[in-house]
A = this chain, B = another copy of it.
Amino acid sequence: MFQDHSSGAVERGSCAATSSHPIEHLPQKQVAPQAEHDEQAPLNPVVARLKRLGMIGDKETTALEHFTCSARACAPNHTLFSEGGTCDHVCFLLEGVACRYRMLANGSRQILGYILPGEMCDLEFLTIGESDHNVSLLTNGLVVKISRAKMLGFLYALPALHQALIAAAMIDKAILRQWLLNIGQRSASNRLSHLLCEITVRMQDVAPKSPDGSIPFGINQLALADTLGMSTVHVNRVLQDLRAANLIVLRKRRLTIVDRDRLEAVAEFEPRYLRPRQSAG
């Protein structure tokens, strides 16, 4: 059902990650390490996301751009954290999709959350000694890893950044509640619809739509099934229903929401939980 063959990770990025840079040093070099063949995504996704939360200024932006400039390219299934493993660092994801998950003895996997470009995993890893779940990549990814000590230094020096990341962690929790509601009470098709709505909104700030209105969608049907607590067969059939109802187009790892209003209506999707009050838009 789901095998874990952790792949290697290749160092990649423009500035070296060797020693601890004082925050004051602001390398004004090439700021967007990931935007090489992305035609119009020059903005650092971490910055884009936190800017949308409306809580960070120039100082924080510069610092973020600095320490996200040395990233590692990782293959699918590369594991960032393992259940029971110690948490002495923190990760930012610049490209790709990762997920948190736990396995049961019978081999079934529950995905507990997605980590999308620009998102971080996991603020509480700074406080907690060991992780209670796994985090690994679903697709190819670009990952920045920061030691606990270094991260604590950043947070201390940049309280606005700290606040922004705390806000992001609270959004995480709100998402967990939504997923619980989703899995517990909604029909398979509404459940899947809701998830698609959520992912689309979460991708907005970091993955500009292509001319045809589609966004990259690296999550396969097995992962969707393990997210929604249903079988892949059923995910497949529900997807076909959504396509037949002309609500979505999903092919070649790209997703288009054809009729957003109708999709959000069947899903009873209310995006407020993803943008709690600070952001007025």
Q: Identify A177's interface contact among B102, B108, B152, B226, CB under 8 A.
A: B102
From B167, B172, B176, B181, give the contact of A110 (CB < 8 A): B181
Decide: A183 and B128 in contact? CB cutoff 8 A.
Answer: no
Chain multiplicity (copies): 2
> Beta-carbon contacts of A81-113 to B below 8 Å, as 1s and 0s?
000001100000000000010101100111010
A120-143 CB mask vs B (1 if < 8 Å, else 0) is: 000010011110110000000000
**A10 CB to nearest chain B CB (Å):** 30
Assess the B104–A170 pair: CB atoms within 8 A: no
Contact of A185 among B87, B110, B174, B273 (CB under 8 A): B110
> A54 contacts the other chain (Cβ, under 8 Å)?
no
Chain B's closest residue to A104 (CB) is B185
Within 8 A of B (CB), among A159-174: 166-167, 170, 172-174
Interface residues on A, range: 35 or more
Find chain B residues with CB under 8 A from A228 CB: 184
Chain B nearest CB, measured from A86 CB (Å): 8
List residues of chain B with CB within 8 A of the CB of A186. Answer: 104
A213 touches B (CB below 8 Å): no
**Given A127-B167, A278-B128, A279-B87, CB of A104 within 8 Å of CB of B181:** yes
Asked whether A272 is an interface residue with its Cβ less than 8 Å from the other chain, the reply is yes
Chain A interface (Cβ < 8 Å from any Cβ of B): 86-87, 100, 102, 104-105, 108-110, 112, 124, 127-130, 132-133, 152, 166-167, 170, 172-174, 176-177, 179-181, 183-186, 226-229, 268, 272-273, 276-279, 281
